[in-house]
Amino acid sequence: MNKPDTRTANLLGALSLMLSDAMTDELGGLTDICDSDCAALIVIEQNPGITVDRLAKIVRLSQPGAVRMINRLVEEGRVERQTGIDRRARPLGLTAEGQRMVRAMLLGREKVLRAPLDALTDDERRSLEHLIEKMLQSMVTDEVASDTACRLCDDNACPQDRCPLAPNCSRAA
């Protein structure tokens, strides 16, 4: 990596941290739950009927950790265990409260992510969109990595037919 590339990488790292911190602050102000709980609710909304095992991989928790998180979200009235074929792998769904929280989180996320885009012209935004798609595609190696990258995505803003990760994403099927 040459010197200009090092600076670009450093700038990208600083922007990533600023966005991550702003997202944590925004979501923390909207909800009383932690980052992994936020991700879990959004993933369940994106994948109705997902199992705890699959959810654990996407939100990067151990299976026992994911079970504890789901137990807590069920107790809080945000998630429900649905009837399935196998009692050990029951499908998950959101309650009305869980759906309300997801809508609020996605609106908060959008607010944070739009702010730096306001500094760009329309042409610059289109160029950035293309570059980000290219960078994302270079980093995703399999379905789990794709689903993990999209764990906080708004499916309405990035439908499957336009998702740069869709060829690897389980929701593309």
Predicted confidence at residue 4, as pLDDT, reads 63
The whole-number pLDDT of residue 2 equals 65
The answer to whether 23 touches 107, Cβ cutoff 8 Å, is: no
For the chain, give every domain's residue range.
Answer: 26-172
CATH of region 26-172: 1.10.10.10
User: What is the value of pTM for the model shown?
Assistant: 0.84
SS3 94: strand
3-class secondary structure, 43:
helix
CA distance 112 to 152: 13
What was the pLDDT predicted at 167? 66
Taking only the tens of pLDDT, the chain with its 173 residues reads 666 689 999 999 999 999 999 998 888 887 778 888 999 999 999 999 999 999 999 999 999 999 999 999 999 999 999 887 776 778 999 999 999 999 999 999 999 999 999 999 999 999 999 999 999 888 888 888 888 888 888 888 887 778 888 765 554 33
Torsion sign across C-alpha atoms 153, 23, 31, 29:
negative
